[in-house]
Structure 1
């Protein structure tokens, strides 16, 4: 059997395998995103696909949610626009910082910079 006769079937199998595994990975990602969107609850901190952060304020609709982006500012979004849940980062290991009082600056800072005169002072003529 000639090697060129095996090349075409091998390429077809290879391309078919790549398409199969690629679509499988994509279906898995879509299922994971849908699971996230159905698990949203009031109070969850989320990030939208446009990068806006906020807290979920209302989840009564199957297709829309309300996100509070600032105190008292609530906007309505499609559930599909929610990209991910964001855990509020709280550093519990943060050391307390000692209060440091600023010392007054003594004297003027030295500078050799020249300042141009203002434009209004030039005579028009």
Structure 2
């Protein structure tokens, strides 16, 4: 009986570690990759770039200051948003990249 109990404990521990590894590879690592891509995108914002904010506002970058972006959203209508409010480039929002399925 004692051998079966330790074998069961070893098996349960192995499955817990395997589940943790699956969690890391399916959720945590892809999230880190997306976060790095978003930070790189935010730091590469330039004047004239068409972007979408997180709330869905479409605009053209007019001025880039430290953490504040001025967006032209219409006929000489400007709004100021923080850099982290910019979600993605407009072409990525309308025409998402195709993924291999």
- Class of the TM-score when normalised by the shorter of the 2 chains: 0.7 to 0.9
Q: Is the radius of gyration larger for structure 1 or structure 2?
A: 1
CA RMSD of aligned residues (A): 1.8
Q: 2:80 aligns to what SS in structure 1? A: strand
Q: TM-score, structure 1 length as denominator?
A: 0.62
| Consecutive aligned runs of 4 or more in structure 1 exceeding 4 Å deviation | none
Higher strand share: 2
Unmatched runs of 5 consecutive residues or more in structure 1:
90-125
Q: TM-score, structure 2 length as denominator?
A: 0.76
Higher helix share: 2
Q: 1:74 aligns to what SS in structure 2? A: strand
Alpha-carbon distance in structure 1 between the residues aligned to 2:57 and 2:65: 21
Matched residue count: 87
Task: Work out which structure has the larger RCO, using CA pairs closer than 8 Å and 6 or more positions apart in sequence.
Answer: 2
Q: Which of 70, 82, 86 is the matching residue for 1:82?
A: 86
